[in-house]
Amino acid sequence: MVGLDLRMIEHLKPRVWGVSALMLAVADALASRFSVCAVQGELSGFARAASGHCYFSLKDSDGGETLIRCAMFRRAAALLDFSPKDGQCVLVRGRVSVYQPRGELQFVVESMQHASAEGALMERFLRLKAQLEAEGLFAPDRKRPLPAYPQRIGVITSLGAAALHDVLTALARRAPHVAVLVYPCLVQGPQAPETIVQALSLACDRCEVDTLVLCRGGGSLEDLWAFNDERVVRAVAACRLPLVCGVGHETDVTLSDFASDLRAPTPTAAAELAAPSSEHCLLQLQQHARYLHRRVQMRLTAQMQRVDHLALRWSRPAEWVRQTGQRLQALGFRLMSSSAQLQDRQRMLLQRSASRLQAAQVRTLHNEHRRLQVLGSRLQSLDPERVLRRGYAWVADEAGRPLTSVKNLQAGQGVNAVLSDGQLGLRIESVQADDAVGN
């Protein structure tokens, strides 16, 4: 029996609770601690009420005395695929709750199945499916389209399987032009997964077919378990060739179906999906032939009209020569007219260019004349003779070097002075430096 974690209701101690409130609090604590869970046990006291609800108890199948009351409401009971009876060992899924009117612990059942080997296999099936689906092995974007017109099809199955006969018969009936290569393997038993993986690897390495068909006949979940093996499913997903999986009957589903590029309900359907029928191919060829025939007829008609037109033109060569001469004469007139117009335009352009050049020359000469006048005025202002006429003299030593300082001059030394109207020979009587200037 499930025990109640006292830590979950420690917050209830400081206050006084009513019975209903306490039951609600316990139910909430159970719901938060136990979500959907599975319980396996033996049915006891199974009864179906007029309302459709089912009530029973579950006890340990080893003969123990511990039991838990269960309720299965009408909606869930309607999904049962067998008639439950006392003493049956079942696996139920549901949630723990509290039946408030009597304050009893009960298990609300949402699904029930036989607790057999098949149920355990289904559990493994669902867990592995969830794992591989989370890894993206079943993603739709990984699916590849099958070749529209395969030349060779590879079949992976047992040589003694009825599925091989079904596939060969369907292909021989529908597409006898398609070659078939068989990659034998085991399809049932503990060695089957390894041989299926080897056959897939061999087909991918040889790469001698356009499409692969993985198939076998129907059977129980245990019989088909080789196609649910993780190694096989991963090999199917990693196969480099487009692969159709046709395992079992229409109601049988394997993990290899999800990993393949296309799932077929039966081996015969897999063969039909892998290759189009010869009748369909012939129908398409006939449609293409009719289309090509129409196109050729249209092209021939157009060419015949062109030949007729040319024949009409050449049936009267003199008329053709006369028309050609008229066209040439018209083209000559147009050429002469175009030449005269071109000459007129060029003449006008030359006249405009000459006028612009003459005006530019006049402007340039005027600007240069003004520039020369300005430079002449500046040159005259810098003429030394004009300075001498204002009363200044240009003094130089006997060698003709200009004297700009009293330094290096001595009394009795001869110097020359140039005036505006002549020269003077002078001799220095004394030398006196200007202190202010020296400083």
Please give the Cα distance from 279 to 4 (Å, whole number).
72
In Å, how far are 318, 321, 339 from 325, measured between CA atoms?
10, 6, 21
Cβ-count burial 178-203 (b if 16+ within 10 Å, e if not):
bebebbebbbbeeebbebbbebbeeb
Please give the Cα distance from 130 to 237 (Å, whole number).
15
Nearest to 213 by CA among 154, 168, 300: 154
| CATH architecture of the domain covering 6-115 | Beta Barrel (2.40)
| Residues 297-333: tens digit of each pLDDT | 999 988 888 888 877 777 677 777 788 888 888 888 8
| Residues 364-376: tens digit of each pLDDT | 999 999 999 888 8
pTM above 0.85, yes or no: no
Using the predicted structure, report yes or no on whether residue 249 has a pLDDT greater than 70.
yes
Note whether 246 and 270 are within 8 A (CB).
yes
Residue 240: pLDDT band (50, 70, 90) is very high
Task: Find residue 394's DSSP bridge partners.
Answer: 418
Using the predicted structure, report yes or no on whether residue 13 has a pLDDT greater than 60.
no
Please give the Cα distance from 222 to 220 (Å, whole number).
5
Using the predicted structure, report yes or no on whether residue 438 has a pLDDT greater than 60.
no
Q: Judging by beta carbons within 10 Å of its beta carbon (0-12, 13-18, 19+), is residue 224 exposed, middle or buried?
A: buried
Q: What is the pLDDT of residue 137?
A: 92
Each domain of the chain, given as residue ranges in start order, spans 6-115, 145-276, 278-317, 388-438
| Residues 60-97: tens digit of each pLDDT | 876 667 888 999 999 989 888 788 888 888 888 888 88
Using the predicted structure, report yes or no on whether residue 46 has a pLDDT greater than 90.
yes
Residue 193: pLDDT band (50, 70, 90) is very high
Average pLDDT over residues 183-194: 92
Please give the Cα distance from 191 to 231 (Å, whole number).
12
User: Mean pLDDT for the chain?
Assistant: 84
Q: What is the pLDDT of residue 1?
A: 33
Fold of the CATH domain 145-276: Rossmann fold (3.40.50)
Radius of gyration in angstroms for the set of CA atoms belonging to the chain, rounded to a whole number: 58
HEC profile of the chain: CCCCCHHHHHHHCCCCCCHHHHHHHHHHHHHHHCCCEEEEEEEEEEEECCCCCEEEEEECCCCCCCEEEEEECHHHHCCCCCCCCCCCEEEEEEEEEEECCCCEEEEEEEEEEECCHHHHHHHHHHHHHHHHHHCCCCCHHHCCCCCCCCCEEEEEECCCCHHHHHHHHHHHHHCCCCEEEEEECCCCCCCHHHHHHHHHHHHHHHCCCCEEEEEECCCCCCCCHHHHCHHHHHHHHHCCCCEEEEECCCCCCCHHHHHCCEECCCHHHHHHHHCCCHHHHHHHHHHHHHHHHHHHHHHHHHHHHHHHHHHHHHHCHHHHHHHHHHHHHHHHHHHHHHHHHHHHHHHHHHHHHHHHHHHHHHHHHHHHHHHHHHHHHHHHHCCHHHHHHCCCCEEEECCCCECCCCCCCCCCCEEEEEECCEEEEEECCCCCCCHHHHC
